[in-house]
């Protein structure tokens, strides 16, 4: 079939998407009424072939009946969906149905465990207390805007409000697709939530850093203190989570960084995120020594080889590591406990860069410390250093001592690195057992 014949065959066939993202097909037939040509649409076909065949059938019927042809009757037959009375369906029932299917708003894909957990938490904390026992007709845009105002007054962040709104929108889309309500009133969430907060990553000030670390010591009895303290040294979140015990060199105050391992496997290496070595402060080195001993015992007790510095033994799969989402949740919880602004893990990297630069470090030293291959990338971090106050003049060439790092950090070749002896009972014996 030639292209012209194909275009003529498909003329009048159009595609569109439902609110849940599914593809549907429609066709149009023109009928002369009162001297004017009027279009009549026939929608709801799941395939293009079905729409084309039905169009051919109606065109033959139009030729047969002539002026007696009334497309309205066939339009009603073509769309059999009938909307049930919203008062017959309680919101609780719709939520239970959706939780049984675990469908999302896009092509009926199953939700991930983390997304399902977030939705369940939003349902229990905000949505069900608002709409329990109410019919679907009362789940309106105005009622949810009122609830968002209450959440704002209670101190819930914009991100929490967005998560709850997104979850409710999925429920309403699910109900609309099944005819319980005519349309999802929260289809455009941006008009309900308002402007998001600025996403500019700012460094922690000295006061914020002090409060953050003090709260980290109290959160879960200090279980994650070494993890979040190390984030302020400048590694990427993925590099921090994937630290290995055999890449930690206490005698040199250094640790080997690799790109992010996840529970799905090792991510591909971007161009400027190859394996590298990060100098550590004395305090962080001591924390990592204790953490290495603890992590070794935990992994050996679980019957696993002692590989990871920050293992997550509850993780599924062979790679027992925390996810990036878990690290963000830890940071958010510590910020709430410290009563400081909401901070993401990557702002620890920004804090390290701005601290080095603000205390007199050069842009090249910041680039080497962060592992960047381009000065333009490092400039993105240093332009926020003004938040920490006026820049100091550093006396003498001391590369990364601005973070209390070694005066002359050594980056030895791979074949010259000492072999790390397995951790023993005390941090002192571990440090002394390493060769100089």
The angle formed by the CA atoms of residues 144, 148 and 151, to the nearest 5 degrees, is 135
User: Which of 130-144, 248-262, 270-284, 403-417 has the largest mean confidence?
Assistant: 130-144
Residue 430 has pLDDT above 50, yes or no: no
**Residue 150 belongs to a domain with what CATH number?**
1.10.150.130
* Count of Cβ atoms closer than 10 Å to residue 194 Cβ: 11
Share above pLDDT 70 across residues of the chain, in percent, rounded to a whole number: 76
Residues 385 and 266 in one domain: yes
Please tell me which residue, 47 or 409, carries the higher pLDDT value: 47
Give the pLDDT confidence score for residue 432 in this predicted structure.
32
What distance lies between CA 188 and its chain's CA centroid? Answer: 20
Q: Give the model confidence (pLDDT) of 81-136 as tens digits.
A: 444 454 567 888 888 877 776 655 444 556 666 677 778 888 888 998 888 888 88
- Choose the final residue of a domain: 164, 193, 222: 193
Residues 213 and 180 in one domain: no
Give the pLDDT confidence score for residue 228 in this predicted structure.
93
Q: Give the model confidence (pLDDT) of 376-416 as tens digits.
A: 888 887 777 777 777 776 544 444 456 653 333 333 333 33
Q: Please give the Cα distance from 298 to 294 (Å, whole number).
A: 6
Residues 428 and 283 in one domain: yes
Q: Is residue 397 part of a domain?
A: yes
Q: Is residue 199 part of a domain?
A: no
Q: Residue 150 is inside which H or E element, if any?
A: helix 141-153
Residues 94 and 173 in one domain: yes
Residue 419 has pLDDT above 50, yes or no: no
The residues near 333 (Cβ < 8 Å, ≥ 6 apart) are 219
To the nearest 10°, report the CA torsion of 69, 72, 78, 81. -160
Give the pLDDT confidence score for residue 378 in this predicted structure.
85
The residues near 282 (Cβ < 8 Å, ≥ 6 apart) are 253, 404
Q: Give the model confidence (pLDDT) of 314-328 as tens digits.
A: 887 777 888 888 888
- Choose the final residue of a domain: 78, 96, 121: 78
The angle formed by the CA atoms of residues 293, 295 and 300, to the nearest 5 degrees, is 95
Residues 114 and 183 in one domain: yes
| Mean pLDDT for all residues in the chain | 76
Q: Is residue 67 part of a domain?
A: yes
Residues 227 and 375 in one domain: yes
pLDDT class of 217 with cuts at 50, 70, 90: very high
- Choose the final residue of a domain: 78, 98, 130: 78
Residues 386 and 305 in one domain: yes
Mean pLDDT of 351-375: 85
Range of the domain at 61: 3-78
Residues 182 and 240 in one domain: no
Q: Please give the Cα distance from 54 to 25 (Å, whole number).
A: 11
Q: Which of 15-29, 235-249, 330-344 is predicted least confidently?
A: 15-29
Residue 10 has pLDDT above 70, yes or no: no
Quick check: 225 and 231 in contact, CB under 8 A?
no
Q: Is residue 200 part of a domain?
A: no
Residues 165 and 183 in one domain: yes
Give the pLDDT confidence score for residue 140 in this predicted structure.
86
* Pick from 330, 321, 319, 307: nearest CA to 238: 321
Residues 186 and 238 in one domain: no
The residues near 91 (Cβ < 8 Å, ≥ 6 apart) are 131, 132, 133, 134, 135, 136, 138, 139, 171
Please tell me which residue, 105 or 75, carries the higher pLDDT value: 75
Q: Is residue 426 part of a domain?
A: yes
Q: Please give the Cα distance from 46 to 411 (Å, whole number).
A: 62
Q: Is residue 14 part of a domain?
A: yes
> Count of domains in the chain?
3
pLDDT class of 311 with cuts at 50, 70, 90: very high
pLDDT class of 429 with cuts at 50, 70, 90: very low
Q: What is the pTM of this model?
A: 0.55
Q: Please give the Cα distance from 264 to 241 (Å, whole number).
A: 14
Give the pLDDT confidence score for residue 426 in this predicted structure.
33
Q: Is residue 174 part of a domain?
A: yes
Q: Give the model confidence (pLDDT) of 153-199 as tens digits.
A: 887 878 788 888 988 888 888 787 777 777 788 877 777 887 777 66
Residues 319 and 222 in one domain: yes
Please tell me which residue, 109 or 138, carries the higher pLDDT value: 138
Residue 277 has pLDDT above 80, yes or no: yes
Give the pLDDT confidence score for residue 290 in this predicted structure.
94
Q: Is residue 198 part of a domain?
A: no
Residues 221 and 357 in one domain: yes
């Amino acid at each position: 079939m030639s292209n012209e014949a194909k275009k003529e065959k498909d003329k009048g066939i159009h595609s569109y998407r439902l609110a849940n993202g599914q593809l549907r097909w429609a066709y149009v037939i023109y009928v002369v009424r009162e001297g004017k040509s009027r279009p009549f649409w026939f929608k709801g076909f799941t395939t293009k072939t079905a729409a084309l065949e039905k169009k051919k059938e109606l065109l033959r019927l139009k030729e047969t009946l002539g002026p007696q042809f009334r497309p309205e009757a066939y339009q009603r037959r073509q769309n059999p969906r009938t909307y049930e009375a919203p008062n017959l369906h309680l919101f609780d029932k719709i939520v239970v149905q959706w939780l049984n299917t675990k469908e999302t708003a896009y092509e009926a894909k199953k939700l991930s465990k983390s997304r399902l957990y977030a939705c369940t938490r939003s349902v229990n904390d905000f949505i069900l207390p608002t709409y329990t026992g109410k019919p679907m007709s009362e789940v309106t845009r105005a009622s949810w805007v009122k609830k968002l105002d209450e959440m704002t007054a209670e101190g819930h962040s914009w991100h929490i409000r967005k998560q709850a709104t997104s979850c409710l929108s999925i429920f309403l889309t699910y109900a609309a697709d099944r005819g319980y309500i005519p349309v999802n009133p929260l289809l455009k969430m941006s008009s309900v939530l308002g402007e998001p907060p600025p996403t500019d990553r700012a460094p922690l000030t000295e006061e914020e850093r002090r409060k953050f670390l003090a709260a980290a010591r109290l959160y879960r009895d200090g279980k994650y203190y070494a993890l979040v303290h190390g984030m302020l040294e400048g590694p990427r979140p993925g590099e921090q989570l994937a630290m290995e015990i055999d890449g930690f060199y206490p005698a040199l105050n250094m640790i080997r960084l690799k790109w992010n391992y996840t529970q799905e496997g090792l991510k591909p290496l971007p161009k400027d995120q190859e394996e590298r070595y990060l100098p550590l402060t004395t305090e962080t080195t001591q924390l990592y020594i204790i953490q290495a001993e603890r992590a070794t015992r935990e992994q050996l007790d679980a019957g696993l080889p002692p590989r990871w510095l920050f293992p997550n033994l509850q993780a599924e799969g062979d790679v027992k590591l925390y996810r990036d989402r878990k690290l963000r949740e830890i940071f958010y919880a510590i910020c709430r406990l410290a009563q400081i602004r909401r901070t993401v893990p990557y702002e620890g990297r920004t804090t390290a860069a701005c601290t080095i630069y603000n205390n007199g470090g050069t842009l090249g030293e910041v680039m080497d410390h962060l592992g960047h291959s381009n000065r333009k990338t490092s400039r993105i971090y240093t332009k926020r250093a003004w938040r920490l106050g006026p820049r100091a003049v550093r006396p003498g060439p001391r590369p990364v001592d601005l973070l209390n790092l070694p005066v002359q950090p050594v980056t030895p070749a791979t074949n010259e690195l000492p072999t790390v002896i397995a951790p023993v009972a005390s941090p002192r014996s571990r440090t002394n057992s390493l060769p100089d």
